[in-house]
């Protein structure tokens, strides 16, 4: 799969320090294989709902996890970003770097962002090691997301009160080769969680239950 290169640092005269406790050591202490479960899909597709339920299931099995969620991160780390293509790119770049740090700490990270651009998602894939980025495409079609409209945002977008809303007047580029696809219009939350757990077990990320 093609990978998009992350830009080089702007600063010069900076040196990478090798640390004595490394990623493998931290992961071994936790008895787990750290990775990023990168949920992508339209607003209302079910990213937050399924990621939340999955984190609960992993937590109760004793895994160390952390969920980075779109709306929450935009209240803090990314509060200076809007929804232009440039800001969405920067949003995803920062989330990717944060998720990479969590992986380095030995954590199983779940992220729930629309992340509408293929290139930005592939950039994140490219900054972690092979196998550490698991793309979870929440493939719920627009009509279903719009009918759900949990925050009333589609209604506002259709009324012209929100401009540049993903799926209405802003693009969403579906993944071409996601590791996991979840059609939540045809699967319950419990079925989606069971599917992901099964795939993670089959790929050796989780111990078989």
Ligand X SMILES: Nc1ncnc2c1ncn2[C@@H]1O[C@H](COP(=O)(O)OP(=O)(O)O)[C@@H](O)[C@H]1O
Ligand Y SMILES: Nc1ncnc2c1ncn2[C@@H]1O[C@H](COP(=O)(O)OS(=O)(=O)O)[C@@H](OP(=O)(O)O)[C@H]1O
Binding site for ATP: what residues are annotated?
41-48
Q: CA 57, CA 193: separation in Å to the nearest integer?
A: 8
Which one from 20, 115, 192, 209 is the annotated catalytic residue?
115
Q: x/- contact string, 155-194, with ligand X (CB under 6 A)?
A: -----------------------------x--xxx--x--
By CB under 6 A, name the one of 34, 46, 106, 175 that touches ligand X. 46
Residues that bind ligand Y (CB under 6 A): 43-44, 48, 70-71, 74, 83, 88, 91-92, 113-116, 151, 153, 162, 164-166, 170
C-alpha 134/C-alpha 78 separation (Å) is: 23
Nearest distance, CB of residue 64 and ligand X, angstroms: 23
Using an 8 Å Cβ cutoff, are 35 and 136 in contact?
no
**Residue number, 113 or 133, with CB nearest to ligand Y:** 113
**Strand (E) or helix (H) holding 26:** helix 23-30
Is 112:51 a contact under the CB 8 Å cutoff? yes
Helix orientation angle between 189-202 and 47-60, rounded to the nearest 10 degrees? 60
Q: Does 37 bind ligand X (CB under 6 A)?
A: no
The structure tokens listed for 81 are 């970003």
Minimum distance between the CB of residue 204 and ligand X, rounded to whole angstroms? 26
- How many residues touch ligand X (CB under 6 A)? 18
To the nearest whole angstrom, how small is the minimum distance from the Cβ of residue 145 to ligand X? 7
Minimum distance from residue 140 beta carbon to ligand X (Å): 8
Please tell me the distance from the alpha carbon of residue 153 to that of residue 20, in angstroms, as a whole number.
48
3-class DSSP state of 112: strand
Q: Which is nearer to ligand Y, 70 or 175 (CB)?
A: 70
At residue 71, φ and ψ (nearest 5 deg) are -60, -40
Contacted by 153, from ligand X, ligand Y, none: CB < 5 to 8 Å by type? ligand Y
Residue 135: φ, ψ to 5°: -85, 125
Which of 138/200 has CB closer to ligand X? Answer: 138
Q: Is 115 a catalytic residue?
A: yes
d(Cα 172, Cα 83) in Å, to the nearest integer? 13
Three-state secondary-structure class, residue 181: strand
Provide the binding-site residues for ligand X, judged by CB under 6 A.
41, 43-50, 112, 138, 148, 150, 184, 187-189, 192
- The residues annotated with a catalytic role in the active site are 115
């Amino acid at each position: 799969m093609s990978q998009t290169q992350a830009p080089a640092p702007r600063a010069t005269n900076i040196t990478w320090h090798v640390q004595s406790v490394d990623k493998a050591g931290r992961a071994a202490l936790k008895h787990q294989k750290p990775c990023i479960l990168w949920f992508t899909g339209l607003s209302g597709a079910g990213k937050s709902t399924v990621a939340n339920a999955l984190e609960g299931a992993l937590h109760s099995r004793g895994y160390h996890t952390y969920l980075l969620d779109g709306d929450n991160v935009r209240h803090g780390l990314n509060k200076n970003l809007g929804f232009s293509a440039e800001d969405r790119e920067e949003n995803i770049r920062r989330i990717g770097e944060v998720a990479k740090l969590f992986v380095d700490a030995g954590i199983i990270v779940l992220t729930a962002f629309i992340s509408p651009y293929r290139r930005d998602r592939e950039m994140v894939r490219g900054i972690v090691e092979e196998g550490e980025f698991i793309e979870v495409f929440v493939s719920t079609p627009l009509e279903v997301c719009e009918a759900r409209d949990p925050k009333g945002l589609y209604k506002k977008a259709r009324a012209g009160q929100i401009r540049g809303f993903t799926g209405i007047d802003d693009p969403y580029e579906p993944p071409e080769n996601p590791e996991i696809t979840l059609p939540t219009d045809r699967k319950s939350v419990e079925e989606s969680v069971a599917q992901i757990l099964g795939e993670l077990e089959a790929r050796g990320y989780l111990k078989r239950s």
